[in-house]
Amino acid sequence: MDKQWYVVNTYSGHENKVKEKLEMRAESMDMQDYIYRVVIPEEKVVEVKDGVTKEKVKKMFPGYILVEMVMTDEAWYVVRNTPGVTGFIGSSGKGAKPTPLQPYEVDNILGNMGISRMNVETELAEGTSVKIVDGPFNGMYGKVDSVDLANQKVNLLVDLFGQETSVEVEIGQIENA
């Protein structure tokens, strides 16, 4: 089963507590292989008040968190029954499992925060095989040559006309092969 991103509804203002509790529950219930990352979508905003410029961190979607997980019955149960969680977005209720976010939606949200959908340390190591899923090289496979986190770009070695060629793509345009 693949890990995917889901939107979880929480009590507004309780996002940090829910994130903490969910991470603790995932560890204590031995669910780290199913519940990977919990992210509160936030952005930095510059506010000018009374002539004073302040930089604030503002929640993009108050009352919502993103959870990267493998949707099994057990993982679904752990997340749903975490204190402060009111449910999943994209679930009709009645025991129906929720619909995951599309990769481009996740890339937009996480990209605004300077985070990648892929876990760069483990999934984008040099020599890792990846599939290009967007852009002019869509459908091609390549090996990671180098990663530029600051610009969210990856240099890949792809086979073009029988010759290994270096191409640069955005992190959001690839997925594990």
CA distances from residue 75 to 25, 40, 142, 151 in whole angstroms, order as listed: 10, 19, 32, 34
Domains and CATH numbers, the chain: 4-115 (3.30.70.940), 122-176 (2.30.30.30)
Q: Does residue 69 contact residue 36 with C-beta atoms inside 8 Å?
A: yes
Residue 4 CB neighbour total at 10 angstroms:
18
Task: Name the band, by pLDDT with cuts 50, 70 and 90, for residue 1.
Answer: low
Distance CA 67, CA 5 (A): 6
Model pLDDT for residues 97-137, shown as the tens digit of each residue: 899 988 778 877 887 776 766 666 667 778 888 888 878 88
Alpha helix positions (H), the chain: 15-28, 73-80, 103-112, 120-123
Q: What is the pLDDT of residue 122?
A: 63
Q: What is the pLDDT of residue 171?
A: 78
Model pLDDT for residues 132-169, shown as the tens digit of each residue: 887 888 888 989 888 887 677 889 999 888 888 899 98
Max CA separation in the chain (angstroms): 63
Q: What is the pLDDT of residue 6?
A: 94
